[in-house]
Chains A and B, each alone.
Chain A
């Protein structure tokens, strides 16, 4: 393989990592703060995709703008879901089976909602941006994927900033570490949890919109992304945002380059085997390894 091809593949992998990171952020927030594995994340990805689609086809609103609009809309939806459902299950510092199943049930309901409203056909968003590319020498950058990558980097950066520089961010970090101690320190646990859940869903909806710019979707959209998000969060460490970036990068690189070595039919098996391997060798993810190093230093 010549250098140009290799570089193109590398670029493709990095941009794919951006896609993966974008779609995992929402789940990470919710897991980190509430210790809930949000299986309904896939349902909100789907709703986000349809939201942007509807805005584009009915009101001719550019999908990027639609993604930005999705944030407040899905934040409110997330807060509502928390208030209606999530706050009623017992909270714990360990992920509980009931939270897992509650959100799985919600996902089923959302899927059905999708089928009832939009039917079972494939929908897609086609804009002039869909096929456009940006070229530097022999390296090709599809515009849409660049945009998604940029959005992913921006969201991760904003979150890291918010976590470390704002009072609310500190409250969230306190909850992530020890909610009882946080309460003692004056953090309003329930309200913080509610806002965090809302933010998580907001990111899920926005990510869905970003995905809609690249892929076609149906009401059961999101399932395959859900499994990949698991892999990423575990690889990166379930509680760190920088970890999400690392996890996404590792997964994307493995997925993209493994095709060169093995038939592409086996590719998902590689990703999942990677997951298991990672869990066994690095139970706290790559971020955990980093933390260990920092502690030892």
Chain B
């Protein structure tokens, strides 16, 4: 009898304690809800990956945003007419670890508990698209400086904005650039093009843009090979052999840095040659130069921005950024983020209030006249995405690189076809 009751009482005890624990956990979570805005500052949520696959670009974008915030605050803040004074900007930063579920959840958290006025976030289309569900849900403006897929903006969402032009347009501009070389007599007509695209939204849309230009302009190029490869490849021999077999004259790949390095190394080792080579947006990356040395010469890249753009505001940004972050701005990453914050600040000032819908309306009409981006004027299009031109950058020997397209931003001549060693 005693034996039974001690066992029973043990189980009773254990069970009730278990419950208590579960209940406590649930209520801790429920209690986690409260945040709070003091009203004396403008809170801007920033959700960027600084760990995981997209860590490096995320880090640069974060630094671009923070530099803009610092400069705004050094000038006293943003003037909000409704409050009658300048308010400083406070950054609420979250690392989404390159994970979509976390990314969306953190944006939701920022927009609810942290009561931010706006969120800047979403490096890469996958993260950006996951986040883009939240702005209209919580009626909070969201600007992405890192997600370029047009389909994020092509719906009836009114609170989404982006400072990168669509990747499809990037591919199209690449085709346009190559076409201009043909027109200038540097390349012959009817050259064969091989496409090796990474299997991500970036690769897919880039390829679609190129194909679209080629189809709209018959006689210039024809696509003889097009295939997608998975990220993180250990050996591209098979793929490169297929490219070789297609007897293409131009090789256009699209890859993350890791695959760019692996593929280009194997490309050189197998002794391949093409008149023009590109790896999408991977051109003048410093890490690529360190890994590939002279093999990067004459590779061209289609970029959203280059620090070589001959605008005075770009030179100033380059200097400010180096002083702030301790390193040079890499690739295009920091610029659209910097301008996203500045456009937001301008919109808040123009709206004169911290009301999020009013700020959204102001964003629709904002015009950043000293933008770092190509064209120097940043304006959001009808769907919220900007429609800015791209630059084509070509690597030159001795660690140099030149903007070779468009002509009005060019710092050097395009070398085509690529010289054989």
Contact = CB atoms under 8 A, between A and B. Distances in A.
Contact of A124 (B56, B233, B269, B287): B287
Contacts of B50: 120
A263 B228 contact: yes
Contacts of B237: 8-9, 12-13, 16, 256
Interface residues of B, number: 40
Interface in A221-267: 224-225, 228, 252, 255-260, 263-265, 267
B234 A16 contact: yes
A177 B291 CA distance: 45
A252 B234 CA distance: 10
A36 to B, nearest CB: 25
A131 B238 contact: no
B269 A131 contact: yes
B291 A259 contact: no
Nearest to A263: B227
A232 to B, nearest CB: 12
Interface string A1-38: 10001001100110010010000000000000000000
B238 A9 contact: yes
A268 interface: yes
A257 B293 contact: no
Secondary structure at chain B's binding surface: helix, strand, loop or mixed? helix
Interface string A116-137: 0001111111100011010000
B291 A142 contact: no
Interface residues of A, number: 42
A264 B56 contact: no
Interface in A151-179: none
B266 A142 contact: yes
Given A120-B56, A131-B268, A5 B241 contact: yes
A54 interface: no
A216 interface: yes
Contacts of A258: 238
A142 B235 CA distance: 12
A245 B30 CA distance: 55
Given A263-B228, A265-B227, A215 B238 contact: no
13 contacts: A1-B245, A5-B245, A120-B55, A120-B58, A121-B287, A122-B257, A124-B261, A131-B265, A133-B271, A142-B266, A255-B235, A258-B238, A263-B227
Given A12-B235, A264-B227, 16 more contacts: A5-B245, A13-B237, A16-B235, A16-B237, A120-B59, A121-B56, A126-B291, A126-B293, A130-B265, A215-B262, A216-B261, A256-B238, A260-B242, A264-B229, A265-B199, A265-B227
